């Protein structure tokens, strides 16, 4: 199943297949879940994409963490540097293996939630999270 995610910057929406959305460490904001646990690290759902559209969505506390999680779940291979030259300042080390990636065409944005609009995504996320699934 596909889900449309919304965010406050360009592009303002992205549609992702459930297989591209990782529910691990989901923490919904209080306006979605009044009983949500404290979120001192500001964990949010981040959408990562490139010039051809969105690639994946992962829960993380900031952009670097989101990129690392996307790499560790094998979602960023499209921008893996062909040569792992650590002297090349245009490349960024990501993930547990600190492999180098070219992020020149990559964009990242946090999801903006609306309970009524996003109800199907929220339900799918909660079910996947509770069952321990890696994707929706």
pLDDT digits (tens, 9 = 90+) for 65-80: 999 999 999 999 999 9
At residue 10, does pLDDT exceed 90?
no
Q: Which DSSP state fits 118? A: T
Q: State phi, psi for 44 to the nearest 5 degrees.
A: -140, 165
pLDDT of residue 31: 87
- pTM for the whole thing? 0.92
CA-to-CA distance for 132 and 126, rounded, in angstroms? 10
Cα separations (Å) of 66 from 60, 74, 95, 109? Answer: 5, 12, 10, 10
pLDDT of residue 54: 96
CA-to-CA distance for 41 and 106, rounded, in angstroms? 24
At residue 84, does pLDDT exceed 80?
yes
Q: Which DSSP state fits 21? A: B
How confident is the model over 102-111, as a mean pLDDT?
Answer: 96
| Domain assignments of the chain as residue spans, ordered by start | 2-78+105-131
């Amino acid at each position: 199943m596909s889900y449309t995610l919304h965010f406050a910057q360009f592009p303002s929406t992205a549609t992702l297949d459930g297989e591209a959305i990782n529910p691990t460490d989901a923490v919904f904001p209080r306006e979605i879940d009044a009983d949500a646990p404290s979120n001192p690290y500001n964990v949010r759902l981040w959408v990562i994409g490139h010039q051809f559209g969105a690639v994946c969505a992962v829960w993380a506390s900031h952009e670097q963490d989101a990129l690392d999680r996307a790499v560790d779940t094998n979602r960023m291979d499209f921008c893996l540097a062909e040569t792992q030259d650590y002297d090349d300042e245009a490349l960024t080390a990501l993930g547990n293996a600190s492999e180098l990636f070219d992020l020149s065409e990559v964009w990242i944005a946090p999801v903006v939630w609306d309970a009524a609009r996003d109800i199907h995504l929220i339900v799918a996320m909660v079910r996947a999270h509770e069952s321990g699934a890696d994707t929706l």
